[in-house]
């Protein structure tokens, strides 16, 4: 497959042998935990090749590789402009194993806020148990990022776009700071996918995706993937063999199936999310909309220059309270209520409820999570139907004839 091929062509064919086992069209599921050898000489040849890192597509045990999994890794690497990739059992498994690969006691990591909560939890709380220091900085504040760097800083970690406010990191500026200092850069690009953004092309060292989301695309698998140079991925793969957080061949098969339609799905989701964001921006029941495709988004200029599309997630704040937000969500008929994103089905959630319920309203507000914040992850349903559904839910959940000005905002009262 030529590197010059269009993205959708790569989605279908890259990483796969043209002639597959038993002449099947699709890569089969190799459901095996153990691989055998014809004789001692063959096993000796394999062991010698493995010592020199030259045992491609040959394994002795499932924790170290599988033909179905390897095909998925090769396809994702091709899509993300990477030399190699390693597939994990989940996105968090990919993140934790990667950080543990390159951090040791006494090292320091800088990471940005407005990132996935479990990522921040692992970096800010769990790594300290292993003697790793961490500093969190505001997303997009490169002065704070430079000030946070120490002589023992080994990694800068960020998401782009972020969750839930869809902030977009200036990747060129990030690598310009990190590379001269010998600091590795790691970017979680789950929300973008390789369709919209390929951070490795900007000099980022490693890219991570929760393949559970857009790459799989059907809400039916768990997987994570790390992409980068052969050298760095080899180090991550070695840690994976120790930690054992491997994917399974059935999930890899489902992932391969999903990747073939990745370009079609994501471009549709880009278009629908843009239309939804523009609609919400003009609705009196909506206080704020967070979507990088809107000119008013703080990173719109960066996103326009750096991304080929703005993604399928729209976050917005309603002019109501915690209960009113729940009422709005309950009125929606198309999206399902759930914590994930990136699938063919639209999913919606009240962020304060699904991710921060144990915190008080004041505690949530202090970390930037408003009680009326909604995250809408569009699927591939018709955009007109989605917008009509949101319109009906807003009309029913709010008394549109009762408006009042409070703290500088036009507030709509919930219907009785």
Say if CB 308 and CB 269 are below 8 A apart: no
What 3-state class would DSSP assign to 302?
helix
Strands of 373-377's sheet, edge to edge? 286-290, 313-318, 373-377, 347-350, 336-337
3-state percent helix, strand, coil for the chain, nearest multiple of 5: 45, 20, 40
- For residues 344 and 379, is the Cβ–Cβ distance under 8 A? yes
106 exposed, middle or buried (CB, 10 Å; 0-12, 13-18, 19+)? exposed
CA distance 254 to 72: 10
Rounded distance between C-alpha atoms, residue 143 and residue 108, angstroms? 18
Residue 257, helix vs strand vs coil = helix
- Other Cβ atoms less than 10 A from the Cβ of 202: the count is 18
Q: Quote the longest CA-to-CA distance of the chain.
A: 83
Q: Which residue has the tokens 């921006």?
A: 281
Cα-Cα-Cα-Cα dihedral of 43, 44, 45, 47, to 10°? 90
- Which positions are annotated as active-site residues? 63, 116, 188, 213
């Amino acid at each position: 497959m030529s590197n010059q091929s269009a993205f959708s062509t790569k989605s279908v064919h890259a990483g796969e042998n043209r002639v597959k086992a038993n002449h099947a069209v699709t890569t089969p599921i190799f459901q095996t935990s153990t691989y055998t050898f014809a004789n001692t000489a063959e096993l000796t040849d394999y062991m010698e090749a493995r010592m020199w890192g030259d045992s491609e597509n040959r394994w002795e045990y499932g924790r170290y590789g599988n033909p179905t999994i390897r095909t998925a890794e090769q396809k994702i690497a091709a899509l993300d402009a990477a030399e190699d990739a390693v597939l994990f059992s989940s996105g968090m498994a990919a993140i934790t194993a990667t950080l543990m690969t390159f951090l040791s006691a006494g090292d320091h990591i800088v990471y940005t806020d407005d990132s996935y909560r479990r990522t921040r939890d692992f970096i800010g709380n769990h790594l300290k148990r292993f003697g790793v220091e961490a500093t969190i900085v505001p997303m997009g504040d490169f002065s704070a990022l430079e000030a946070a760097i120490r002589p023992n800083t080994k990694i800068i970690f960020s998401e782009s776009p972020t969750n839930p406010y869809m902030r977009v990191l200036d990747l060129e500026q990030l690598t310009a700071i990190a590379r001269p200092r010998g600091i590795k850069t790691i970017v979680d690009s789950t929300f973008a996918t390789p369709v919209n953004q390929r951070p490795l092309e900007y000099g980022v060292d490693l890219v991570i995706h929760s393949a559970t989301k857009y790459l799989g695309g059907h809400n039916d698998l768990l997987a994570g993937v790390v992409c980068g140079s052969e050298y760095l991925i080899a180090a991550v793969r070695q840690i994976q063999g120790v930690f054992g957080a491997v994917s399974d061949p059935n999930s890899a098969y489902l992932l391969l199936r999903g990747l073939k339609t990745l370009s079609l799905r994501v471009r549709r989701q880009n278009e629908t999310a843009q239309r939804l964001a523009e609609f919400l921006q003009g609705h009196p029941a909506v206080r704020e909309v967070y979507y990088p495709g809107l000119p008013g988004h703080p990173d719109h200029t960066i996103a326009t220059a750096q991304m080929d599309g703005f993604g399928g997630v729209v976050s917005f704040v309603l002019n109501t309270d915690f209960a009113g937000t729940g009422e709005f969500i309950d009125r929606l008929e198309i999206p399902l209520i759930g914590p994930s994103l990136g699938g063919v089905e639209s999913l919606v959630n009240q962020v304060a409820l699904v991710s921060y319920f144990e915190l008080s309203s004041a505690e949530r507000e202090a970390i930037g999570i408003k009680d009326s914040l909604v995250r809408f992850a569009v699927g591939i349903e018709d955009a007109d139907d989605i917008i009509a559904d949101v319109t009906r839910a807003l009309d029913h959940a709010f008394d549109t004839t009762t408006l009042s000005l409070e703290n500088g905002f036009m507030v709509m009262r919930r219907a009785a």
